[in-house]
Amino acid sequence: MALLISVAPVGAQWAVRSDISNVDQLFDSGGHAEAAARRLADQFAEAGHHAEVEVYLRDGALAGRHVHRPRGSLYAN
């Protein structure tokens, strides 16, 4: 099962939410929130796990989805 990480607006800020944390990470810009979400997904992928980042616009529409495939020591030749 993939780790799902989402980036969505919360009031004037942007939240990064994931299946592995009960606490949202808050950022003042969507770009910073997306970068943090992608770093988290990269770390999870490096550990050999599948991760997906979904980014939502202020109107609730899905703006993009980034798939991070497993890699790292579990998948080395």
Structural domain count, the chain: 1
Mode of pairing for the β-strands spanning 3-10 and 51-56: parallel
Q: Is residue 25 part of a domain?
A: yes
Residues 6+ apart with CB under 8 A from 48: 70, 71, 72, 73, 74, 75
pTM across the whole model: 0.88
- What is the rounded end-to-end Cα distance, in angstroms, of the chain? 23
Say whether 42 sits in a helix, a strand or coil.
helix
Residue 13, domain extent = 1-29
Q: Is residue 13 part of a domain?
A: yes
Q: Is residue 61 part of a domain?
A: no
Q: Is residue 43 part of a domain?
A: no
pLDDT digits (tens, 9 = 90+) for 1-26: 789 999 999 999 999 999 888 999 99
Residue 2 CA to residue 10 CA, distance in Å, equals: 24
Q: Is residue 38 part of a domain?
A: no
Q: Is residue 8 part of a domain?
A: yes
Q: Is residue 14 part of a domain?
A: yes
Q: Is residue 18 part of a domain?
A: yes
pLDDT digits (tens, 9 = 90+) for 22-59: 999 999 999 999 999 999 999 999 999 999 999 999 99
